[in-house]
Amino acid sequence: MGRALQELGIQLIPAYSPQARGRSERRFGTWQGRLPQELRLAGIGTLEEANRFLRERYIPEMNRKFSVPAAEPGHAFVPARGQDLDRIFSVQQERVVAKDNTVQWGERVWQLERTSWRGTLAGCRVTICQHLDGRVTIVYGPQVVARYSAPGQPLESSPKARAPRCGNDAPREAWKTPEAKTSFPRFPPRLEIRPKAKTPDSHIPTATAAAGKV
């Protein structure tokens, strides 16, 4: 929890004082001492009935009796922009990749495949992220090196779509239409060297030719 709050830029103020601990303990005592009696008096015996009782009767009554209006209206929430919340709200553990390019967490061992930018991650420190839905993502710095489902099956990474460029990267089907030929120029472009324009002959001899005559 502390790590997630730090990544989101939220300051955590621990309750180290006896007064703060006392307030929380008294709150827990109220719930633990009063709620079972309320459920017994209402004749509730199933989980579904208890949840309905909490939503419809108990919580509204507690708020009406014990809530205190805020000193200032409004809230202090700010939007989280540019944050990977799926990665932040995950259980994270750091591991060192073994010589066989595997990492182990608990009873599971994950095999890391080769990447285009590094042949092996042996000896590197990676972060194993267990997400809320059970998926597992293994991260090395900003790079995601492996994805696994909740049962442990590898998930293929979806390739990033790239807009086609002109020339050799253009789709082959585009060359079948005359409009595409005009919009996609040839690559590499054909180099043309234009011949120099011929200068008209002059009847006036140059200085070199005049000096050579006797």
Tens-place pLDDT, residues 15-45: 777 777 787 788 788 788 888 898 999 999 8
Tokens found for residue 31: 């719930």
Tokens found for residue 133: 């839905």
Does the pLDDT value for residue 9 go beyond 60? yes
Q: What angle do CA 142, 144, 146 make, to 5 degrees?
A: 160
pLDDT given at position 152: 82
pLDDT given at position 166: 40
Q: What is the 3-state secondary structure (H, E, C) of 167-188?
A: HHHCCHHHHHCHHHHHHCCCCC
